[in-house]
Amino acid sequence: MLCQRLKNQYVQNWGASLENSSKLEHYRKYKTYFCLEDYLNSIVNDNLRVQLCRFRTSSHMLENEMGRFASVARDCRICKLCSLNQIESEYHFLLCCPMYRCLRTKYFGNIHWPSLHKFVSIMSCKTKSHMLKLSMFIRDAFKMRQDALNI
């Protein structure tokens, strides 16, 4: 009884902190309840699993996150690899940036109209093959980004 109450309190605090965090804007769209995520056990390749985990939790090198540390205003954290003049967020990286169009087609097929629904669908996929494709896209796209920016 006490154990369950403590767990309930923890989950409630987790949800509240998630809701109040500006950093995890995208994460809270697909992480809607407290549980162990399937990809943590399904993706056996350590590098791919870590890449996906870091992307999901905004622990990456996209402008949206790096600008936070450099005190750059959110609306000025623009993607340096395209001319769309959009914030380089997880959403932009995964679905919009023309730089990764060929990778998107390779791993997800044709995505004609990016949408929040499509983003949530991809990020919350449960099948092992989809999780693997997502993690490989993230790995390959970050490599492409690194090469293009000469980081």
Q: What is the pLDDT of residues 12-67, one digit of tens each?
A: 887 887 777 777 777 788 788 788 888 888 999 999 999 999 999 888 999 999 99
What is the percentage of the chain residues whose pLDDT exceeds 70?
99
d(CA 91, CA 23): 14
Alpha helices in 21-127 (DSSP H): 27-30, 39-42, 46-56, 63-69, 90-91, 101-108, 116-123
pTM of the full predicted structure? 0.86
